[in-house]
């Protein structure tokens, strides 16, 4: 049985869909991100990133394992069941499967998920930077 620490966001839904498609038994444990449940000490023990989703696979080879970041969870589910894995060169992979077949290096998982808040924080500044760059370009002509 897989415990999915879940809230109905895009990343949370990916995991429940994958479990359904792979016929993996799972139990949903709600993590209300609107109330800050992901920042509780208990959840921090499972996921030091304090983000959602997280799974605990009690039936993993070698004993129970905790996995976080949706890409890592999708890869692990695909490898566990043998479904949604590509055979042959990457160019033969259907476009819909690209998310499941992402780079398998653990460091490649942490960076994209962890950098999103920084990108969101910069989002408000990007249009002003672009406008400033246009003004500089125009004044040098």
Question: Rounded CA gap, 10 and 24, in Å?
Answer: 19
Q: Which top CATH class is 2-104?
A: alpha beta
Cβ 70 vs Cβ 15: under 8 Å: yes
> Average pLDDT for residues 100-105, to the nearest whole number?
41
Number of C-beta neighbours around residue 138 at 10 A? 8
What secondary structure, in 3-state letters, does the chain show? CEEEEECCCHHHHHHHHHHHHCCCCEEEEECCCCCCHHHCHHHHHHCCCCCCCEEEECCCCCCCEEEECHHHHHHHHHHHHCCCCCCCCHHHCCHHHCCCCCCCCHHHHHHHHHHHHHHHHHHCCHHHHHHHHHHHHHHCC
The per-residue pLDDT for 110 is 40
pLDDT tens-digit readout, 58-85? 988 888 999 998 888 998 898 889 888 7
pTM, rounded to two decimals = 0.62
Sequence spans of domains, the chain: 2-104
Confidence of residue 131 (pLDDT cuts 50, 70, 90): very low
Question: Rounded CA gap, 55 and 16, in Å?
Answer: 10
């Amino acid at each position: 049985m897989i415990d999915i620490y879940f809230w109905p966001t895009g990343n949370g839904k990916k995991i429940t869909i994958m479990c359904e498609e792979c016929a993996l038994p799972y139990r949903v444990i709600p993590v209300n991100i609107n109330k800050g449940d992901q920042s509780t000490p208990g959840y921090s023990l499972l996921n030091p990133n304090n983000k959602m989703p997280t799974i605990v696979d009690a039936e993993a080879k070698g004993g129970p394992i905790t996995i976080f970041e949706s890409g890592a969870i999708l890869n692990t589910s695909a490898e566990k069941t043998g479904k949604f894995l590509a055979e042959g060169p990457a160019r033969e992979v259907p476009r819909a499967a690209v998310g499941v077949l992402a780079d398998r290096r653990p460091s490649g998982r942490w960076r994209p998920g962890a950098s999103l808040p920084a990108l969101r924080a910069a989002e408000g500044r990007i249009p002003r930077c672009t406008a400033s760059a246009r003004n500089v370009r125009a004044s040098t002509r």
